[in-house]
Amino acid sequence: MQQRTSFTYKLTPAQQKELIDILQYGNYQPLSIPYTITAASGDDVTVALYKSGKCLVQGRKAEDFVTFVLEPLVLKHAEIGYEDVLHPEGARPHMGVDESGKGDYFGPLVVAAAYVDEFLVKKMREMNVRDSKRITSDDVALDMGKKLRRMLGKKFAVVRIGPEAYNRLYAKMRNVNSILAWAHARAIENLLQVCPACPRAISDQFGNASQVKKALMKLGRQIELEQRHKAESDMAVAAASVIARDIFLRALKDLENEYGTKFPKGASSAVREAATRLAKAKGPAILLKVAKCHFSTTDEVLRTIGSDRSALGPEGQAVSKPVSDHFRRRRPAESMAAEAE
């Protein structure tokens, strides 16, 4: 089996001290890496301890370092090679659900569901599949997502809600978590069409835990749904997160090609500047086609160009209204499906 070449751990202050001593007095060469407390290289391995407490271990012998140094001397527990003993449920048949694009002003909201069993979990470990938020390179996320989709065949499902559809849904539902709940439920339902015997679905905890359950239809109501914090530690959820990010990045690139401009990720000052340039060049209403307009970024951009939400028309004004309780009532899933791309 191919060894993993990258590991990330969050260390306590006491664990950080243990690691600093090991790197300082062991057979390691010190390195200078920005934002680190200490960093060093050894035999085909690089170890960096960042000021945030995050420890990154990389290299051809990264797994050996974790197994023989980090686990026994710093973490004081063993997991590598014992995953199925410590967490046997992780390799049993189930699906994971996760999203991408929720915090990105430009582009769609993408929710993916991925099925795993013992064989697929082993293959994903060999690929070093992990939560997409731990993948800092878009190229790596795109490549891993493509490989996962190829490996899973039909055993994954994607719900992509483009900006225009997202803005219509938000104007009606008034709540991001309601949109997420519907999209998670739809992804679960779609994957159950292919894997009807799947007994369990895991997703990250967001909003009211009952929202996804209420949005499920006939097939989904028969599945055990588990929502938990840090669900991305589950391999199925991690795989879903990578697939969702892969599809999000490809959709964002399609938007860039369509409009001939760069759409930065996130909701930074660079995003506001890009949105301002686009609104000036093509008119404020263009934001409804490329962005999630309930973000405060929309109001900042409109103020910058001397305009307001009236320039977006009735739909754009509706997207900005405060959340009202009466939209918490369920809408039929079939009618909502028509809103998504």
The string of DSSP letters for 308-339 reads -GGGGHHHHHHHTSPP-GGGGSPPPHHHHHTT
Residues 6+ apart with CB under 8 A from 61: 3, 42, 43, 44, 45
**Exposed e or buried b for every residue in 49-86, given b needs 16+ CB within 10 A?**
bbeeeebbbbbebbbbbbbebbbeebbeeeebeeeeee
6-81 under CATH 3.30.310.10, yes or no: yes
CA distance 116 to 139: 24
- As annotated, the residues of the chain forming the CATH 3.30.420.10 domain(s) are 88-341
272: number of Cβ within 10 Å: 19
Cβ atoms 119, 280 nearer than 8 A: no
- As annotated, the residues of the chain forming the CATH 3.30.310.10 domain(s) are 6-81
pLDDT tens, position by position, for the chain (341 residues)? Answer: 456 788 888 999 999 999 999 999 889 999 999 999 999 999 899 999 999 999 999 999 998 899 889 988 998 876 655 444 445 555 689 999 999 999 999 999 999 999 999 899 989 988 888 878 878 889 999 999 999 999 999 999 999 999 999 999 999 988 899 999 999 999 999 999 999 999 999 998 877 767 888 888 777 778 888 888 777 778 999 999 999 999 999 999 999 999 999 999 999 999 999 999 999 999 999 999 999 999 999 999 999 999 999 999 887 888 875 443 333 344 444 444 444 54
Q: To which H or E segment does residue 147 belong?
A: helix 138-152
Long-range pairs, 14-19, Cβ under 8 A, ≥24: 15/74, 15/75, 16/49, 16/53, 16/55, 18/73, 18/74, 19/47, 19/49, 19/55, 19/70, 19/74
User: 């791309």: which residue's tokens?
Assistant: 341
88-341 under CATH 3.30.420.10, yes or no: yes
Residues 6+ apart with CB under 8 A from 158: 110, 111, 112, 113, 187, 243, 244, 247
Closest by CA position to 214, among listed 184, 236, 240, 169 = 184
Closest by CA position to 275, among listed 302, 310, 311 = 302
CA distance 318 to 327: 13
322: number of Cβ within 10 Å: 5
Sheet harboring 94-100: ordered strands across?
A: 156-161, 109-116, 94-100, 200-204, 224-228
Residues 6+ apart with CB under 8 A from 157: 112, 113, 187, 188, 190, 191, 194
